């Protein structure tokens, strides 16, 4: 008796059907959700992902929401914000978190292959918006800087999209030029031109802080992508020299550097070092455990931009050294975890996903480091917000989208590793 008769036609048909289903699953894009099992009894559940990363990010977001409310509640007492309600900034910040959360949920549904395919287009879109914001009838000037495009429900800052776009584009570029890493002009020059053009547009706003972050993202991805170390240090030297020239020929930035070096000088304490000196006084009043939530004095019209650039100073005054250390540890852990996810992706031969994730980690980590350093008087004032915490709609939107991309990379990593184990 042959094999077909012995096993039965129904058994053979069922085995072939199961083999076809498995082949279709292997060919389909990696899903975000799993479906019911063969018995149909298991409910729909999310795939395994790094819940600790999400919880730490949410802790920073909602901790920032509380501190934004605390630092802005007294602003309507001033003439500038007399028409605002005490909850004005709280409600707008909560709206930004809601919009960013919806965008993050949408982004995490899309495979990383989609972003790799469209990375150059997203970069071009960011450049177009950076050009549009400089037009007088499009961009809005706030504090002598033209950085925002009004969208009605929020003010969008193209520089935030540019940070995300550069991380994607640099990762895509390194994947496409992997064979040219040892040749300077073929490997580095085109990317350097793209970053230089982006920097020129940012400096026209002006927004040197965003340019520094974007340069750090691009350089970090080039280095992690395997560009020759001599080329990397040459690029770093060129960028440092560029910043030195800009400072030498820009009176405003030069005054900020001098004020940073000696903030308590009589010529600086009421001038360019005014924010820094009041930030340091806030930390001094906070001590170890702080004055208590809502008890800050510096936020009462002494410390400008307390709800944006200098939010950490209010944290230090109200929650003390313990609160500041909690924020620093959270950002350190978040950045390290993002880099681990990126390394896992590269180990799984997903180079674009790994480099992009690490570029996003550089963005969040470097910007947090700069903001914390500025608040503590370790770095000159740069006008950068604290990621995930400071008030700012477009910054919150892009930060949450960036974290959603990292979560998606982690989802796909875990799915591939489960496939290997099987």
Maximum distance among all alpha carbons in the chain?
A: 104
Can you spell out the DSSP letters for 222-254?
Answer: HHHTT--HHHHHHHHHHHHHHHHHHHHT-HHHH
Whether the CA torsion 185, 191, 192, 196 is positive or negative: it is: positive
- Joined tokens for residue 391: 């008030």
Question: Is 255 exposed, middle or buried, given 0-12, 13-18 or 19+ CB atoms closer than 10 A?
Answer: middle
106 Rama class: left (phi>0) / alpha (psi -120 to 50) / beta: alpha
Q: Is residue 32 situated within a structural domain?
A: no
Q: Is residue 7 situated within a structural domain?
A: no
Q: Is residue 394 situated within a structural domain?
A: yes
**Cβ contact 330:60 at 8 Å:** yes
**Cβ contact 142:392 at 8 Å:** no
Number of other CB atoms surrounding residue 16 within 10 Å: 10
Query: Which pLDDT does position 44 carry in this prediction?
Result: 34
Task: Give the Cα separation of 407 and 274 in Å (integer).
Answer: 40
Report how many domains make up the chain. Answer: 1
Q: Is residue 399 situated within a structural domain?
A: yes
Domain that holds residue 340: 52-421
Q: Is residue 25 situated within a structural domain?
A: no
Rounded average pLDDT per 10-residue block, the chain, 422 residues: 46 56 51 39 52 95 96 88 88 95 95 94 95 89 84 88 94 78 65 84 86 90 79 73 73 72 76 85 92 91 88 95 96 96 93 95 95 90 89 94 96 83 38
Q: What residues contact 89, with CB distance under 8 A and at least 6 apart?
A: 68, 69, 72, 75, 307, 391
Q: Is residue 303 situated within a structural domain?
A: yes
Among 396, 317, 303, 289, smallest CA distance to 60 is for 396
Q: Is residue 43 situated within a structural domain?
A: no
- Joined tokens for residue 11: 């058994």
Task: Give the Cα separation of 33 and 47 in Å (integer).
Answer: 6
Q: What stretch of H or E contains 136?
A: none
- Joined tokens for residue 281: 């006084």
Task: Give the Cα separation of 120 and 191 in Å (integer).
Answer: 12
Question: In the 8-state DSSP scheme, what is residue 150?
Answer: E
Number of other CB atoms surrounding residue 157 within 10 Å: 23
Query: Which pLDDT does position 132 carry in this prediction?
Result: 93
Q: Is residue 20 situated within a structural domain?
A: no
Task: Give the Cα separation of 254 and 317 in Å (integer).
Answer: 29
């Amino acid at each position: 008796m042959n094999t077909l008769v012995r096993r039965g036609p129904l058994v053979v048909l069922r085995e072939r059907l199961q083999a076809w289903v498995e082949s279709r699953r292997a060919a389909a894009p990696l899903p975000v959700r799993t479906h019911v099992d063969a018995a149909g009894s298991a409910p729909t559940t999310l795939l395994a992902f790094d819940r600790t990363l999400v919880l730490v990010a949410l802790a920073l977001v909602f901790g920032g929401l509380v501190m934004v409310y605390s630092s802005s509640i007294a602003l309507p007492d001033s003439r500038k914000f007399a028409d605002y309600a005490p909850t004005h900034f709280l409600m707008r910040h909560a709206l930004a978190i809601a919009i960013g959360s919806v965008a993050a949920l949408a982004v995490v549904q899309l495979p990383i292959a989609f972003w790799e395919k469209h990375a150059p287009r997203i970069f071009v879109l960011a450049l177009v918006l950076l050009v549009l914001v400089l037009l007088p009838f499009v961009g809005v000037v706030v504090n002598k800087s033209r950085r925002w495009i009004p969208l009605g429900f929020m003010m969008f800052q193209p520089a935030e999209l540019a940070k995300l776009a550069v991380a994607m584009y640099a990762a895509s570029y390194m994947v496409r030029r992997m064979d040219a890493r040892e040749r300077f002009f073929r490997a580095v020059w085109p990317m350097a031109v793209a970053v230089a053009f982006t920097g020129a547009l940012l400096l026209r706003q002006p927004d040197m802080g965003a340019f520094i972050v974007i340069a750090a993202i691009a350089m970090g991805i080039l280095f992690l992508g395997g560009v020759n170390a001599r080329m990397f240090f040459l690029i770093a030297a060129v960028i440092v020299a560029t910043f030195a020239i800009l400072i030498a020929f820009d009176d405003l930035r030069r005054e900020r550097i001098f004020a940073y070096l000696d903030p308590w000088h009589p010529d600086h304490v009421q001038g360019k070092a005014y924010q820094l000196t009041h930030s340091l006084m806030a930390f001094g009043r906070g001590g170890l455990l702080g004055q208590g939530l809502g008890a800050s004095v510096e936020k009462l019209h002494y410390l400008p931009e307390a709800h944006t650039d200098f939010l950490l100073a209010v944290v230090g005054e109200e929650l003390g050294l313990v609160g500041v250390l909690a924020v620093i540890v959270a950002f350190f852990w978040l950045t390290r975890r993002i880099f681990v996810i990126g390394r896992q992706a590269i180990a799984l031969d997903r180079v674009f996903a790994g480099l992009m994730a690490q570029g996003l980690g550089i963005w969040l980590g470097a910007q947090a480091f700069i903001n914390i350093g500025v608040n503590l008087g370790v770095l000159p004032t740069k006008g950068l917000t604290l990621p995930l915490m400071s008030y700012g709609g477009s910054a919150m939107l892009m930060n949450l989208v960036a974290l959603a991309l990292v979560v998606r990379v982690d989802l796909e990593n875990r799915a591939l590793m489960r496939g290997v184990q099987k």
